[in-house]
Amino acid sequence: ELKVEQNPLFLSMQEGKNYTIYCNYSTTSDRLYWYRQDPGKSLESLFVLLSNGAVKQEGRLMASLDTKARLSTLHITAAVHDLSATYFCASEEQFYFGTGTSLTVIP
Amino acid sequence: GAGVSQSPRYKVAKRGQDVALRCDPISGHVSLFWYQQALGQGPEFLTYFQNEAQLDKSGLPSDRFFAERPEGSVSTLKIQRTQQEDSAVYLCASSARVTGVNQPQHFGDGTRLSIL
């Protein structure tokens, strides 16, 4: 079974709108990592969430972790075109990655 | 450079040939991962090293796949008797390890392997 599930898999949103990407995990480790991948490029680290209730913010992106629900969210505020990319969450010390959320921000 | 370096960037091989993919991690990074990424998918774990010790190879899809890191720095992923289903991007990542926790990884640009 999938150890890390993300939804949605594809997300098309207008500039200026808000949206949330969800990451459910079934692994035992409660550390959760978020990465960004641009087309044809490799992965770039965004956030590391180390404990229940952890919240990290960078620009228009905010990530949070609920270890009881085994759920992490990546919230996008007032999207801009530069945020278009694929976003991955990873758990169990990065042994397991989700299938990714492909985000397209439309002007 | 200061990042993770992988070579070659592209590799085309005929089915049945052996290939070797190289990864130069960031100097001093203890942890090294290999992943396989198919088009439109997330990275799939292959194997994990701490220094020269291969602590987990549960993701290697068959005994045709072999990885080593003999001196705890450069790593090589070897695939013997390649098959078409081996076609993918192979990613290497390294990270420091602090108080028993792997820090966020630095990924190389990957080797795109195509088996004809």
DSSP letters for A25-58:
E-SS---EEEEEE-TTS-EEEEEEE-STT-EEEE
Name chain B contacts of A97, Cβ cutoff 8 Å.
Answer: 35, 42-45
Task: Say whether pLDDT at A95 is over 80.
Answer: yes
Q: Are A63 and A20 in contact (CB under 8 A)?
A: no
What tokens were used for B88?
């993918």
The number of helices, as runs of H, and strands, as runs of E, in chain B is: 0, 13
What tokens were used for A45?
């680290």
Tokens 């070897």 belong to: B78
Nearest CA in chain A to B105: A45
pLDDT at residue number A50: 87
Burial label for B31, CB within 10 Å (0-12, 13-18, 19+), is buried
Tokens 């999938």 belong to: A2
Min Cα distance A106 → chain B (Å) is 20
Nearest CA in chain B to A87: B42
pLDDT at residue number A20: 97
pLDDT in tens, B88-110: 999 999 999 877 777 889 999 99
pLDDT in tens, A35-78: 999 988 889 999 999 888 899 999 999 999 999 999 999 999 99
pLDDT at residue number B1: 54
Min Cα distance A27 → chain B (Å) is 14
Helix or strand (DSSP H, E) at A5: strand A4-7
Name chain B contacts of A31, Cβ cutoff 8 Å.
Answer: 101
Residue to test with chain A: of B5, B34, B39, B105, most A Cβ within 10 A = B105
Q: Are B5 and B92 in contact (CB under 8 A)?
A: no
Task: Say whether pLDDT at A1 is over 70.
Answer: no
Query: How many Cα neighbours within 13 Å face the side chain of A45?
Result: 17
User: Cβ contact (<8 Å) for B105 and A31?
Assistant: no
pLDDT at residue number A85: 97
User: How many Cβ atoms are within 10 Å of B14's Cβ, its own excluded?
Assistant: 8
Residue to test with chain B: of A43, A44, A101, most B Cβ within 10 A = A43
Name chain A contacts of B41, Cβ cutoff 8 Å.
Answer: 99-100
For A59-71, give the secondary structure using H, E and C: CCEEEEEECCCCE
